[in-house]
Amino acid sequence: MLVLVSYDVSFEDEGGKRRLRRIAKVCQDFGQRVQYSVFECVVDPAQWTRLRHRLLEEYDEERDSLRFYFLGKNWQRRVEQHGSGSSYDPETDTLIL
């Protein structure tokens, strides 16, 4: 299933920049950045559980926000890409680490 993850991290406290880096790193472990604070993550149910758990451990619920959008298994029909930047298909594109 495709889960779109977006986040907004507050910089009003000293830990904001650190939380931002950690949240981005967790998202990168599971998906592809499509905008600065938005990631597309193709995950199975077990991976989704781990992703959600790790993100909820990193954010500050009093200062930050996390949003999850579930596009399901047939997500290809629900996503349109327009404008600059190349489109990324996590199921067919090769990712070299």
Q: CATH number for the domain including 6? A: 3.30.70.240
93 domain residue, yes or no: no
Helix (H, G, I), strand (E, B) or coil at 12: coil
How much of the chain, in percent, has pLDDT values that exceed 70?
74
97 domain residue, yes or no: no
pLDDT in tens, 15-36: 999 999 999 999 999 999 999 9
Q: Are 37 and 8 in contact (CB under 8 A)?
A: yes
52: Cβ contacts below 8 Å, ≥ 6 apart: 68
E strands, the chain, where? 2-8, 32-35, 38-42, 65-72
Q: How many structural domains does the chain have?
A: 1
38 domain residue, yes or no: yes
Q: Which residues span the domain enclosing 30?
A: 2-74
89 domain residue, yes or no: no
What are the tokens at 32?
């592809």
Residue 83 DSSP class: S
The reported pLDDT for the residue numbered 90 is: 56
The reported pLDDT for the residue numbered 97 is: 47
Q: Are 45 and 53 in contact (CB under 8 A)?
A: no
Q: What would the mean pLDDT of 46-63 be, rounded to a whole number? A: 96
43 domain residue, yes or no: yes
Strand partners, 65: 8
Query: Is residue 29 annotated as involved in ligand binding?
Result: no
83 domain residue, yes or no: no
